[in-house]
Structure 1
Amino acid sequence: MRILHTSDWHIGRSFHGHSTLDALRGVLEALVTQVRDHDVDVVLVAGDVFDSATPASGAYTLLSDALRGLADAGATVIVTSGNHDSAARLGFQSSLLRSGVHVITDPTSIGTPLTVADEHGDVHFYGIPFLEPVLLRSTWPGVRSQSDALGRAMELVRADQAHRGGRAVAMAHCFAAGVEPTPQLERDIQQGGLDIVPLSTFDGVDYMALGHIHGQQQLSPRVRYSGAPLHYSFGERFKPRGSWLIELDAGGLGAVEWLDLPVPRTLTTLTGSLDEILTEARYASHEADWINVEYTDALPQRDPMRRLLARFPYCAAVAHMPAASSVDDARTYTQRVRAARSEAELVDAFLAHVREGEGASAREAELIAEVVEERSHAEAHA
């Protein structure tokens, strides 16, 4: 049996204010082609189908078209809800879908699989929707964390699997131990906002399809994240986009292969002075990319986004990232102020303090001198 593992479509998410619906439609059409070209039997979508609990109508249309395309390509499709989804709305959508597409949003269904047969017998698919511990405490006493909830869910899976026999695949949406750190992940851990699920929680199944992490990751040969099909931030730009193709043989997990998906528009970060980025020929190859500019001028420049868009029509973000100050002055601001011998020097000390050591330019010094002179003249004739 051939299984395609995908997740985190985030239909409806914007990219720095730009709609991603058309780009995602193209990528999901490529996913359908993968299913057809590789004779995939089952497609797993492991949560965060939508980006919002209240998606716009266009998001519903895209989801319906994508699921219909996967089913028409010959696959059984199994979808679970993620933390971004409204389980109620996604569950309602399931009642409108064609045969062969299954959307799992109800925690009470955990432990009851969808069974698909191949030449070696039955394969049982256990979908685990995103679990909110606070909503499960009356149903599962003692559950206080997502780790507890996933542990209880997998106990139900293993108990049912022991009764049924055969091969088993499960899918869930969570942070699992062993995930490659990212800046956002590290912040969540430090702030205590992340509930890590031990890898041993997923013992007992032939393959565990996880969602929640946007980059492809392998935690063990049988526990993997597929990541998102689109890049949704510049921090993800080096992570490949694609899906896992899993083969189950008579004994369980066989071969696993990564299938790349197309990247509709390359994401690029350009660093340098604003003038260099706007004029130098070496940046011409990036004019059709999504662009994030970090310009290193000592001082903020006027209208940088407007000027950048004239060359890079897909410039999405710009930030002033001045190079480290070359001024070696260990004095405190108070000491600089006390050392100033005139009002012009006082202004220069302030500018150097707020501009990473960059004092007044020659033209600014002229303007400061004029203002100081005018003020002294006015005071003298007051």
Structure 2
Amino acid sequence: MRILHTSDWHLGRSFHGVDLLGAQAAFLEHLVEVVRSEAVDVVLVAGDVYDRALPGVDAVQVLDDGLAALVGAGAQVVVSSGNHDSAVRLGFGSRLLAGTGLHLRTHVARAADPVLLADEHGEVAFYPLPYLEPAVAARALGSEASHAGVLGAAAAAVRADLARRPGARSVLAAHAFVTGGQGSDSERALSVGGIGQVPASLFDGVDYVALGHLHGRQRLAETVRYSGSPLAFSFSEAGHTKGSWLVELGADGVSGVTAVDAPVPRRLARLRGRLDDLLMDVTHAEAENAWCQVTLTDAERPAAPMERLRTRFPDVLELRFEPEAGATAPSEASYAARTAGRPDLEVCCGFLEHVRGRATNGPESTLLNEALEAVLLADVEGYDPVAAQLALDDAAPVGRGTRRRAAKAG
């Protein structure tokens, strides 16, 4: 069986104000050509089909056209939802569509309910796990309310189902940040405080693990891989080679994995230096036709920098200022530079300290943390805050949950 592993299409996303929908449609056409040229049996999409829970009508049309073309080319298409998708909207009509060759899995209740396909060697069980938000999924899975808890419980249920299918080969798809993976600036955090990573060992016992969420195509182990996003969504991905994985599944499991590169609509370039040097340096000739991020290091901010840069580099999409060492006091650095790479909670606490002149105390940090968690949960379709809090309380150590129940009772 030949499986094309892809993920993180993020249909409807733009790049620094540039509409990417045409390039995204072209990528889906590329997948159709790969299905035909490589005789692909199954296209497996590991989450984040759309960029937001309520996608625009044009993004919905691109998906409709793309899925119809993939099925029409002869592939079975297996899709799971990611943290950007609305599970309810993406999963609408899934039971009816399964008969056409399109298999949508978006609900935690079906985590261990495989899509069963077959080749000349027998049965292959596909387990496309939807993104499992801990506060929502923990109660359904009977696990602690953490990323490792819900994914571990789902993977254990998968292994239990596999044990009832002797001889079946298995493929599991998951949308998660697995330890060892390399992130980029364009992924949405899965949790507040950077505690969303899970170990790859959670998925032991299956033949191939198709991961989604991180946007760089990468190999964590021979049979545990991220396909990455088909397009770059941040300048931190300038060095990525985008594409998918073509997985060969033989009689005894994975017999080979081959990289399939995606079409590149426009190169990315990251330029750094003094404005006059950038305008004159012949080594930057290739950047003249690229989308550019420019960091100026002039000791003083030049006049009309964007206008001057665009006389040579018409598509400068992001301009930064980082004066040479000693030229500018740290407090004068740009807000983006001062907050880059810092956790959301730290940024919020730093803002309060800046405007009030004193650091946040423990209760204030706790309130900010809960507010940030609520923002993350707001995008999860079907989120029930009462059920989620019960799940958190049941999973919490004695103290937090006990205090909350006591407060409610009082």
1:199 aligns with 2:200: yes
Kindly state the Cα deviation for residue 248 of structure 1 after the two structures are TM-superposed.
0.8
Kindly state the Cα deviation for residue 95 of structure 1 after the two structures are TM-superposed.
7.0
Please give the per-residue CA displacement for 1:153-201, whole angstroms capped at 9, x wherever unaligned.
Answer: 111111111102211111010011222366789x979962332222111
SS in 1 for 2:92: helix
Please give the per-residue CA displacement for 1:294-345, whole angstroms capped at 9, x wherever unaligned.
Answer: 112111122322332333222110111212237xxxxxxxxxxxxxxxxxxx
Please give the per-residue CA displacement for 1:322-370, whole angstroms capped at 9, x wherever unaligned.
Answer: 12237xxxxxxxxxxxxxxxxxxxxxxxx999889xxxxxxxxxxxxxx
Measured at CA, do residues 94 and 19 of structure 1 come closer, stay the same or move farther in structure 2, by a change above 3 Å?
A: farther
Partner of 1:380: none
Distance 2:222 2:180 in 1: 13
Question: Is the contact made by 2:138 and 2:149 (CA closer than 8 Å) also made in structure 1?
Answer: no
TM-score of the superposed pair, with normalisation by structure 1: 0.81
Query: Quick check: 311-320 or 77-86, which moved more?
Result: 311-320
1:117 aligns with 2:118: yes
Measured at CA, do residues 47 and 353 of structure 1 come closer, stay the same or move farther in structure 2, by a change above 3 Å?
A: closer
Identity of aligned residues (%): 48
Measured at CA, do residues 184 and 103 of structure 1 come closer, stay the same or move farther in structure 2, by a change above 3 Å?
A: closer
Measured at CA, do residues 182 and 91 of structure 1 come closer, stay the same or move farther in structure 2, by a change above 3 Å?
A: closer
Question: Is the contact made by 1:176 and 1:197 (CA closer than 8 Å) also made in structure 2?
Answer: yes
Which one of the candidate residues 146, 149, 170 is aligned to 1:168?
170
Partner of 1:59: 59
SS in 1 for 2:142: coil
**How many residues get paired?**
331
Measured at CA, do residues 266 and 284 of structure 1 come closer, stay the same or move farther in structure 2, by a change above 3 Å?
A: same
Question: Is the contact made by 1:27 and 1:264 (CA closer than 8 Å) also made in structure 2?
Answer: no
In the TM superposition, what are the counterparts of 1:210-289 in structure 2 within 5 Å?
210-289=211-290
Partner of 1:126: 127
Measured at CA, do residues 17 and 133 of structure 1 come closer, stay the same or move farther in structure 2, by a change above 3 Å?
A: same
In the TM superposition, what are the counterparts of 1:79-118 in structure 2 within 5 Å?
79-92=79-92, 94=94, 99-118=100-119
In the TM superposition, what are the counterparts of 1:1-382 in structure 2 within 5 Å?
1-92=1-92, 94=94, 99-165=100-166, 166-180=168-182, 192-325=193-326
Distance 1:355 1:251 in 2: 60
Distance 2:135 2:320 in 1: 40
SS in 2 for 1:44: strand
Question: Is the contact made by 1:36 and 1:73 (CA closer than 8 Å) also made in structure 2?
Answer: yes
Distance 1:198 1:354 in 2: 39
Question: Is the contact made by 1:229 and 1:241 (CA closer than 8 Å) also made in structure 2?
Answer: yes
SS in 2 for 1:148: helix
SS in 2 for 1:257: strand
SS in 2 for 1:230: coil
SS in 2 for 1:311: coil
Give the aligned CA root-mean-square deviation in angstroms. Answer: 2.5
Partner of 2:390: none
Distance 2:190 2:76 in 1: 37
SS in 2 for 1:27: helix
Measured at CA, do residues 184 and 317 of structure 1 come closer, stay the same or move farther in structure 2, by a change above 3 Å?
A: closer
SS in 2 for 1:138: helix
Please give the per-residue CA displacement for 1:55-86, whole angstroms capped at 9, x wherever unaligned.
Answer: 11111011111111211221100000000111
Corresponding letter in the other structure for 1:87: A
Unaligned runs of 5+ in 2: 334-410
Kindly state the Cα deviation for residue 285 of structure 1 after the two structures are TM-superposed.
2.6
Measured at CA, do residues 12 and 155 of structure 1 come closer, stay the same or move farther in structure 2, by a change above 3 Å?
A: same
Distance 2:207 2:52 in 1: 32
Please give the per-residue CA displacement for 1:262-300, whole angstroms capped at 9, x wherever unaligned.
Answer: 211100011122123234444333211001111121111
Corresponding letter in the other structure for 1:129: P
SS in 1 for 2:84: coil
Query: Quick check: 92-101 or 279-288, which moved more?
Result: 92-101
Please give the per-residue CA displacement for 1:207-264, whole angstroms capped at 9, x wherever unaligned.
Answer: 0101011001211111111100001111011111011111111111111111111211
Q: Which has the larger radius of gyration?
A: 1
Distance 1:207 1:12 in 2: 29
